[in-house]
Amino acid sequence: MSRLLWLVRRGFWNGLFVLKFHGQKPAVIPPGDDDGRPARLVPFRTKYPDIPIEGVVVADHIPTDEVEKPKQVFTRIQHALVRWFSPMQEGLPPISSDAAAALDAAYTPAHRRCFPIPQRPQENGLGALAVASPYASYLEATGAGTFRWDLGSLAAFECHPGLVELGAVVDFTVEGGTGDLAPVRIETALGVAQPGTSGWDDAVRMAMCSITSHASMVRHFNWLHLTAVPPLETVTRNRLPLAHPVRRLLWAHVFGTHGGNDLVTEIIMSKGGEFDAIFSLTHRGICQLFEATTGEFDLAAINPLLDASRRGVTEIGVATPAYDNWSGLYQVFLGHARRYLELYYASEDDLANDQALGAWIEDLDQRLPHGVRSVLGEGVTMAGAASLLATIVYLATVEHEITGSGLWDYQLWNDTSPVRLYQDGRDLPVDVYQRLVNANLNLNVHRTMLLDDALPGLAVDQAGAWAFRELQQDLLGFQARLDRTSPAPWRMEPRRLKANINA
């Protein structure tokens, strides 16, 4: 009877996610304004009292140009169904110990008609992942030829019973002869392990469990969806007039944040929601994690050039393919921002004297943790403004892709990147894994693409439209250069980049 109930439950929820995937259509991003009612940011708990997080703010209302009634109705029903007919079922067996077989069983033919099945990365050792994966931004230099992943702070948060506590510190050195990184020591709740010791394999899996959990919950949802982009959209709406060129430059990348977040926050963050059901932390632990990490967000950490310099991983004698790819894309956006600004500002003085732009910068500097000066610099210069604008565009298009759907080929392989590690050594229950698969499928729904033909139509005039087309041509040139090299699952390619984190 239990097996029959699970088959019914599994079939229902798989069907719902497949239906949701096919029903998701990219939003039409309007160049026009909403009803003119200013957006206000209010404490997160005023809107979501059952998700006790301090420090995060949300919009007091959804702007009328972001309201999508059919999606609102669907997601409200989905959230109610989690309580009425949960996708979880106690007492189910674990998935197959063969990770490929487990994925094959959970990713049904109906799923595959939505999106191609994940491909296992050829390189999945810690040393390779440290420089060529969605996790490459975690590597920090600790001395001459020594490096670290430091996720030890995750140990402070409550886990579900029976799980190994999150948290890992991985030390790397450069291998003589090859110039590759090699992990030499891992510290976790299981103790300290070194290569060749009996606990090494479990320590590696715990390190991957910690880093993929942090990427999904903190870097993706907390820092981008909740901490950064709501203030970016709000300040852009409130401070920059509709026809302001900087508003038009950013609009495709910030529009839809309030409406999109409203659709998914309860589904993801509620007790019994996706984070609680999938990852190691309890609901209380998740809320405490978000509270603790919201203030850690720093816009400079999104800028790949500034971030790599801060982490000490530029020109380190080790190949850094992910950083090279990401910084190359950032340079395209930087060139676009500089070219665009020069169309509308004849001089540095004209830029510095733009009162609306100045108010926008000052408001952002107050609302974002750590402000914007680390990216902008002192004063308002053409170079600083281009850096700030390029970083915002990069956040919405590249960083969001890295930490969201960029985990597609990594997070579903339970043998190498588990989302939970059980103390008794068993694998994930089938309901937890199935929910992980469906949640990741949902990250790949169709959204407005960065190369969409409609984006130049958001410009304020023909000059701006030309600048948008030039950006798209530059991105196509970048894509053409990538096409002459071997593909890699971690690589961010212009043709797969979305313009926006929600629309």
Whether the per-residue pLDDT at 356 is higher than 80: the answer is yes
Whether the per-residue pLDDT at 279 is higher than 80: the answer is yes
Which residue type sits at 93? P
Residues 400 and 257: beta-carbon distance below 8 Å: no
Whether the per-residue pLDDT at 436 is higher than 90: the answer is yes
Residues 423 and 239: beta-carbon distance below 8 Å: no
Q: Is 89 a domain residue?
A: yes
Residues 238 and 39: beta-carbon distance below 8 Å: yes
Q: What phi, psi does 136 have (nearest 5°)?
A: -65, -20
Task: Output the pLDDT for position 179.
Answer: 77
Task: Reduce the DSSP state of residue 474 to 3 states and report it.
Answer: helix
If you average pLDDT over residues 401-423, what whole number do you get? 96
Residues 376 and 384: beta-carbon distance below 8 Å: yes
Task: Output the pLDDT for position 131.
Answer: 96
Q: Is 359 a domain residue?
A: yes
pLDDT range class, residue 27, cuts 50, 70, 90: confident
pLDDT tens string 187-209: 999 999 999 999 999 999 999 99
Q: Is 43 a domain residue?
A: no
Task: Output the pLDDT for position 31.
Answer: 79
Closest CA to 479 of 498, 456, 497: 497
Residues 133 and 322: beta-carbon distance below 8 Å: yes
Task: Output the pLDDT for position 122.
Answer: 87
Q: 348: part of which helix (H) or strand (E)?
A: helix 348-352
| 186-210 b/e (C-beta count within 10 Å ≥ 16 → b) | bbbbbeebeeeeeeeebbbbbbbbb
pLDDT range class, residue 176, cuts 50, 70, 90: confident
Give the range of the structural domain holding residue 396, as residue numbers without chain letter.
2-34+50-121+206-496
Distance CA 148, CA 168 (A): 10
Whether the per-residue pLDDT at 123 is higher than 90: the answer is no
Distance CA 434, CA 418 (A): 13
Looking at the whole model, is its pTM more than 0.75? yes
Q: Which residue has the tokens 């990490």?
A: 293
Residues 168 and 210: beta-carbon distance below 8 Å: yes
Residues 303 and 394: beta-carbon distance below 8 Å: yes
Angle, vertex CA 479, rays to CA 476 and CA 483, nearest 5? 135
Mean pLDDT of the chain: 95
pLDDT tens string 393-410: 999 999 999 999 999 999
Separation in Å, CA 211 to CA 25, 151, 164, 461: 31, 7, 14, 44
Whether the per-residue pLDDT at 451 is higher than 80: the answer is yes
Copy the structure tokens of residue 485: 């090299």
End-to-end alpha carbon distance in the chain? 42
Task: Output the pLDDT for position 1.
Answer: 65
Q: Is 265 a domain residue?
A: yes
If you average pLDDT over residues 147-172, what whole number do you get? 97
| 33-51 b/e (C-beta count within 10 Å ≥ 16 → b) | ebeeeebebeebeebbeeb
Q: Is 348 a domain residue?
A: yes
pLDDT range class, residue 317, cuts 50, 70, 90: confident
Q: Is 117 a domain residue?
A: yes
Q: Taking the mean position of all CA atoms in its chain, how far away is CA 501?
A: 9
Task: Output the pLDDT for position 326.
Answer: 98
Task: Output the pLDDT for position 112.
Answer: 97
If you average pLDDT over residues 30-39, what whole number do you get? 76
User: How many folded domains does the chain comprise?
Assistant: 1
pLDDT range class, residue 35, cuts 50, 70, 90: low
Q: 402: part of which helix (H) or strand (E)?
A: helix 400-403
User: What is the biggest distance separating any 2 CA atoms in the chain, rounded to whole angstroms?
Assistant: 75
Q: Which residues, 6+ apart, have CB-to-CB distance to 299 below 8 Å?
A: 228, 368, 370, 371, 372, 374, 375, 391, 395
Give the strand pairing for 140-143 and 146-150: antiparallel
Whether the per-residue pLDDT at 34 is higher than 80: the answer is no
Residues 145 and 174: beta-carbon distance below 8 Å: yes
Task: Output the pLDDT for position 58.
Answer: 94
CATH, residue 486: 1.20.245.10
Whether the per-residue pLDDT at 177 is higher than 90: the answer is no
Q: Is 181 a domain residue?
A: no
Residues 399 and 302: beta-carbon distance below 8 Å: yes
Q: 143: part of which helix (H) or strand (E)?
A: strand 140-143
Task: Output the pLDDT for position 503.
Answer: 60
Q: Is 231 a domain residue?
A: yes
pLDDT tens string 213-261: 999 999 999 999 999 999 999 999 999 999 999 999 999 999 999 999 9
Distance CA 443, CA 435 (A): 13
Q: 254: part of which helix (H) or strand (E)?
A: helix 245-254
